[in-house]
Amino acid sequence: MKEDIRNTGIEIGLYTLGDIGSDLHTGKTISARQRVKEIIEAAKLADEAGLDVFGVGEHHRLDYAVSAPQVVLAAIAQVTKRIKLTSATTVLSTVDPVRLFEDFATLDLLSDGRAEIIAGRGAFVESFPLFGYNTNDYDALFSENIDLLLKLNENETLSWTGHFRSSLRDAEIAPRPVQQLPIWVGVGGTPESAARAGKVGVGMAMAILGGDPVRFKPLVDLYRKAGTEAGYAIEDLKVGVTGHGYISKTTEQAKDEFYPYYSHYWSYVNQQRGMGFKMSRADFEEMTGPDTALFVGSPQQITEKILRQYELFGHQRFLAQIDIGGLPFKEVAAGIELLATEIAPIVRKETSK
């Protein structure tokens, strides 16, 4: 019988934002229906391969396939057995926390206690006008909604008063999940976000997409300092690292195979933001250096990068996004296999010492 070592060392998993990119060779764009099916299949493969976590992001744009992560995760729950299921991230500023909690509590029941929420402010702002919110309230909405979400998680009945939504008076919050839902805050790089995550005692999931990861060390220190000062135990202040990745047999092969897709990905992401930056091969070579945060390379190099970051942060979770830029699903599946069989066992062993 194969030994299950998922409970030792750091958790290792995957996340997807469900971007819909055109095929580099044919110019055709995959349908949202096919993209969602491939996401569910990727989660199934990740579960069967022994990975720990699978995350699904939220966007409200035609070039992304997922606007309701909880619905996709509920479908995934039916074809998986053990893998944890999280949003990555939920745009908390533009969602009703009561509806959000009830959705994820239902997901928790469907999955036998595997649901989690990573709440963030989002990289795009289209959900604000879509749901009737003002971008001037960006921070205030997030602060109020995280406060309410945490109270909903702790209380079966709740009285609460805020500024942006109607008050609650002895409201019954149903259904109750199998577990108290693990809640994380997604942090892109601001000290304020790190400190806020610590003050409210939730996990902090850092998006490290490039550069030297050492620059994120002050955020981790600030998070843990704020958390302990607020009275939380250090072992309850969990840190996650998320980042882009691509794995192949050798580092050169990985770079050769992934560069066209990664350059393509940033071309359309930058166009969405009104920027015209085009990634050259020289830019890509610099971004994939051994001391950078971009997880592109051989299993050995990816393992070394994860362990270097573990020395810096002492984090509890690593999630890779390996399905971007219109990458064919067969390449995604191969990456899942390499992550689960050649990287995860070594990382778990080294981080469980």
Give per-residue pLDDT as tens, 88-132: 999 999 999 999 999 999 999 999 999 999 999 877 899 999 999
**5 part of a folded domain:** no
Residue 27's pLDDT is what?
A: 84
**192 part of a folded domain:** yes
**Range 124-145 average pLDDT:** 95
- C-alpha–C-alpha distance, residues 106 and 122, integer Å: 24
- C-alpha–C-alpha distance, residues 130 and 60, integer Å: 8
Residue 268's pLDDT is what?
A: 79
Quote the pTM value.
0.96
Average pLDDT score, the chain:
94
Tens-place pLDDT, residues 180-205? 999 999 998 899 999 999 999 999 99
Residue 7's pLDDT is what?
A: 55
**118 part of a folded domain:** yes
* Number of alpha helices (DSSP H) and beta strands (DSSP E) in the chain: 12, 12
Structure letter (DSSP) for residue 159: E
**Range 294-310 average pLDDT:** 98
**1 part of a folded domain:** no
Task: Tell me whether strands 168-172 and 157-160 are parallel, antiparallel or unpaired.
Answer: antiparallel
Domain holding 106, by residue range, is: 11-351
**47 part of a folded domain:** yes
Residue 52 in tokens: 């720990």
Residue 170's pLDDT is what?
A: 98
**4 part of a folded domain:** no
Residue 5 in this model has a pLDDT that exceeds 60: no
Report the candidate in 237, 220, 174 with the shortest Cα–Cα distance to residue 313. Answer: 220
**Range 290-311 average pLDDT:** 97
**Range 152-168 average pLDDT:** 97
Residue 272 in this model has a pLDDT that exceeds 80: no
Residue 189's pLDDT is what?
A: 86
**204 part of a folded domain:** yes
Report the candidate in 353, 351, 352, 332 with the shortest Cα–Cα distance to residue 49. Answer: 332
Tens-place pLDDT, residues 222-251? 999 999 999 999 999 999 999 999 999 999
Cβ neighbours of residue 330 closer than 8 Å, sequence gap 6 or more = none
**Range 45-52 average pLDDT:** 98
38: enclosing H helix or E strand = helix 32-49
Share of the chain above pLDDT 90, in %: 88
Share of the chain above pLDDT 70, in %: 98
Q: Which residue has the higher pLDDT, 278 or 68?
A: 68
- C-alpha–C-alpha distance, residues 254 and 78, integer Å: 33
Residue 238's pLDDT is what?
A: 98
The sign of the CA dihedral 73, 74, 79, 82 is positive
| Number of compact structural domains in the chain | 1
CATH of the domain at 205: 3.20.20.30
Q: How many CB atoms lie within 10 A of CB 187?
A: 29
314 in helix, strand or coil?
Answer: coil
Residue 36 in this model has a pLDDT that exceeds 80: yes
**334 part of a folded domain:** yes
Cβ neighbours of residue 271 closer than 8 Å, sequence gap 6 or more = none
Q: Which residue has the higher pLDDT, 274 or 348?
A: 348
